[in-house]
Amino acid sequence: MPVCENCQTPALAEFKYCSVCGHPNKSGGESSASQPSKKCPYCAETILAAAVKCRFCGEMLNSRHANQPASPPTMNFGGYNSASPPSLYPTPKERNHWNPGTAAVLSLFIPGAGQMYKGQIGLGLAWLIGAAIGYMALLAPGVIVHVACIFNAYNGDPRS
């Protein structure tokens, strides 16, 4: 690799001037067209013969890195940074998640609905029957059972 005569930093042959000090390049701005080239074995684009990585497809060309595939480009899909868009259908692990606030609001309107939303169907039915019996007996026991049902729906581990 040529070196700048003025500041002794490595200089690229295709530039007319040093990128550090601005001194004219000794090679006189030799273009990359005059350098030897080859075809990329992966995408068949023309690249420099000394290239280690294809600038078009990103594949490594030397034998040391040849078995390491190039990483796919990352794209932004609505806040998700990944090589592919998010799935439209939740995985079984994602389906088991529940939101504590949603569970509490559901139990506010229908006692036990928050527990059913969390997947605790039997417990939800028990809270529904208990609140109904409490409201039938007197208003105060029904309200107490209903508030306890809301707190029970809100509490717990959302990842379970």
Position 53 in a domain: yes
- Which runs of consecutive H residues, i.e. helices, occur in the chain? 92-95, 100-109, 113-117, 121-137, 139-154
For the stretch 92-145, pLDDT in tens is 556 667 888 999 999 999 999 999 988 889 999 999 999 999 999 888 889 999
Position 104 in a domain: yes
Lowest-confidence pick of 1-10, 25-34, 51-60? 25-34
Question: Does one domain contain both 135 and 148?
Answer: yes
Position 159 in a domain: no
pLDDT of 72 strictly over 60: no
Question: Does one domain contain both 129 and 105?
Answer: yes
According to the model, what pLDDT value does residue 30 have?
Answer: 46
Joined together, the tokens standing for residue 23 give: 């001194």
Distances (CA, A) of 89 to 79, 94, 102, 118: 17, 9, 20, 19
Average pLDDT over residues 3-29: 67
Q: What is the pTM of this model?
A: 0.42
Q: Which domain holds residue 132?
A: 95-154
For the stretch 29-51, pLDDT in tens is 444 556 788 888 888 888 888 77
Instruction: Give the total number of structural domains in the chain.
Output: 3
Question: Does one domain contain both 49 and 2?
Answer: no
Of 53, 69, 85, the residue that ends a domain is 69
